[in-house]
Homo-oligomer: A and B are copies of this chain.
Amino acid sequence: MKIGNLLEQVREKKPLVHHITNYVTVNDCANVTLGIGASPVMADAIEEAADISAISSAVVLNIGTLNERKNQSMIAAGKSANAKGIPVVLDPVGVGASKFRNDTVARLIDEVKLTVLRGNISEIKFMAGLDAETKGVDASESDTVNVDDAGQIAKGLAKKLNCVVVISGATDIVSDGNKIVYIENGHQMLGNLTGTGCMCSSLIGSFCGALPEDSLYATVAAMVCMGTAGEIAYEKVGHLGGGSFHVVLHDAISKMDAETFERRAKFHEAS
């Protein structure tokens, strides 16, 4: 597989990616979606959520700033996508931090068939039914496990939910329940910028929207894309601080080309 080709597919097909997402990082989500070559639409009203999903190529559900009204729209959008065979990405932001988040995610995975689930280690451990000490929306240090254990957690949950599972972290892990892909791209400054997780989910939606038949590698490509952009941003302006890093991260995504992507990608598979 030439991972650079996957990027070219996104730019060529320009998939419409419907987001029901939080208001904290939504602007960044829209801009990375445009930056990678897809087209974002954000529509969370129950009166149109299903209609917009039905004309989209992928649906991204993000519970960052959830409320009962949005939750119903997420279910309606997810079901509408399921009915049409459109990929659905779930970002269970902060699950474990409140009963309301836990109940919302439980309803979502009960009613909607996911294509990809992406979270940090605290969120994915919680989803896997393991002890997790979720502290707000950032991964808790006490939840850190070694990379091999994380791989098995992702694989087990992927098998259980019959979808691709991603654990974002120093090493990103992607599993479809069969293969496990370990991605070594990225930089720790990504963890000091709000929304880099949400932006990963938008990129996953963009790649899956263009490549619905291969959600495992579409997801790997999306994670490599964010990791590589983080490395480029760090190399160029990391010394200046978080504001410049934020700007150049968007530069790097919008200027990403197949050759750079291919050359910088660092991942390997196991099972």
Contacts and interface: CB of A to CB of B under 8 A. Distances in A.
B195 A27 contact: yes
B255 A52 contact: no
Contact of A65 (B43, B66, B193): B43
Nearest to A102: B48
A248 B246 CA distance: 11
A252 B193 CA distance: 14
A45 B66 contact: yes
Chain A interface main SS type:
mixed
Interface in A82-111: 94, 97-101
A89 to B, nearest CB: 17
Interface residues of A, number: 61
Contacts of A22: 42
A99 B251 contact: no
A48 to B, nearest CB: 4
Contact of A251 (B94, B194, B241, B254): B241
Interface in A247-264: 247-255
Interface of A: 16, 18, 22-28, 30-31, 34-35, 39-45, 47-48, 51-52, 55-56, 64-69, 94, 97-101, 135-138, 192-195, 240-244, 246-255
30 contacts: A23-B42, A24-B27, A24-B30, A25-B27, A25-B30, A30-B194, A30-B195, A31-B243, A34-B242, A39-B135, A39-B137, A39-B138, A41-B94, A43-B94, A43-B97, A44-B67, A47-B68, A47-B100, A48-B97, A51-B97, A51-B98, A55-B97, A56-B136, A67-B69, A240-B255, A241-B252, A241-B254, A243-B247, A244-B247, A247-B247
